[in-house]
Structure 1
Amino acid sequence: MAIHLCQKSYGTIKIYIKVIMHLESICMNALPVVKEAGMFVAENRRQIPWGEIEKKGDRDFVTSIDKKSERLLVKGLSAILPEAGFFTEEKTVEQGDSRLRWVVDPIDGTTNFIHRTPVTAVSVALMDGDDLLIGIVYEVTLDELFYSWKDAGTSFCNSEEIHVSDCSEFRKALVATGFPYQREGRLPAILETAGYFLEHCQDIRRFGSAATDLCYVACGRMDIYYESYLQLWDVAAGILIVRNAGGTVVDFSGSEHLTGQQVLATNGRFIEESLSGIRIPPITR
């Protein structure tokens, strides 16, 4: 049976084919763009007066550096792939509704940035609908550039291949987590979940950057990472990097079809043990 495509659909398919055939090249071209934005962030790490900080919500802040970093990213990524739209945290550019879009967090770890404490990252993903095509995370304070692309078969940090840990005992697993800005009514489940991991695993770390937490699972520094009440720009890039490094990423219902609001990432083990202790309810679409 013949399939007839309208001009717009045909053009969209051609763009998609072009992108899929050149994912590695697109990723390599995007790396210096992401690193430039990260270096800009690093150069502006200073104690920022509270009068220069905007408040988006309870415990949720944005600085002029977030916005300038995002503009740098939008300009550079647009030059690489003009056909792609954007879904960005600070909304400095029109938020496109196209399937092909860059998902951008110009500073993941703004609170750390404000207080001049590690960890701070720039996170960029390229997505086609829900399909992750490219993931790039630049952790500023350690100058570490993590990246991968669909079907790459591996993930990288500063051009070196990385892989998840080989930890096989839940009680020896080191766990990373984070906490939401809005905590009212959520604390009992959050604290009970943290208590479970503190009792059954080696220990918990809280770095303050979801993108970095995922990359630390990907490179074997952490064995488990869980967090809820997130946004897609926090985790999209890191999810692909973990999966291509041999790890597993699901939501709190155990589904691999992620919205970005909840993430459980492991070294490929510990999914059932972790889910059995998470008391934070799954978030549905």
Structure 2
Amino acid sequence: MDECAHGASGVDLRLDRAHSARIYDYFLGGRTNFAADREAAAKVLGVFPAAQLAARVNREFMHRATRALARAGTRQWLDIGTGIPTSPNLHEVAQEVAPEARVVYTDNDPIVLAHAAALLRSHPEGRTAYVQADVTDPAAVLSAPELLGTLDLSRPVVLSLNALLHFVDDERGGGAHAVVEHFKRALPPGSVLAVTHATADFAPEALAEVTAIYRAAGTPVRLRDRAEFARFFDGWELLEPGITLSHRWRPDDPRDVAAVSAAEASCYAAVARKP
């Protein structure tokens, strides 16, 4: 393989196989995707034509939630499952409101590591860092020197888990709920949990086919219903409007809600604070 196929880290990025991060990048209109990724994306769009729209409104939720929390005084974020950088990234949104904001990005994917430099261009008053780690090993994430040198874990932190947990099955790390509980216990009062998660509640047949396409590409997907999604927030106080669909969480323009159906979004979203 050529140098591009191995990335900046020298790791084989296996460009001949579709990858979930690059498929998502394609749906967002990015350029870090290749023929195998576009082929898989075309299959997804064939059974779920709203996939690009769903990806876009999920990303827009992250922007709105980050902006709202920064305006409310939050200054620290831990973003796990960061994915391939797509501007504006979380730190760019947060630092637009609060230049001193600090953000730690985490992913276990060498593809993301190869592009991590884009995540480290912090505003001079703030700081960003990148941790190469797996969400299913919370202890490794929380003890990483890059994290401890950037965030003060005695002060509130936003734990951002956008479009990640549906890639965590119920076996790895004790299951997605056990993983989230570990992080929740480690964070101080006043911390915030912001999550989006794909669901088959509104388009079960199409999402079942999407799941099969990802599985065939080597990426298991575990879709969860509303009750399973709600469990991630047990013991924490949901912020208004509570559990909703990604495009319905504090929309910038009410017309944006009417423009997207529940089946097209097919993604739950919520933000909660630790009492």
Whichever of the two has the greater Rg, that structure is 1
TM-score if structure 1 supplies the norm length? 0.26
Which has the larger share of strand?
1
State the structure with bigger RCO (CA 8 A, min sep 6), 1 or 2: 2
TM-score if structure 2 supplies the norm length? 0.27
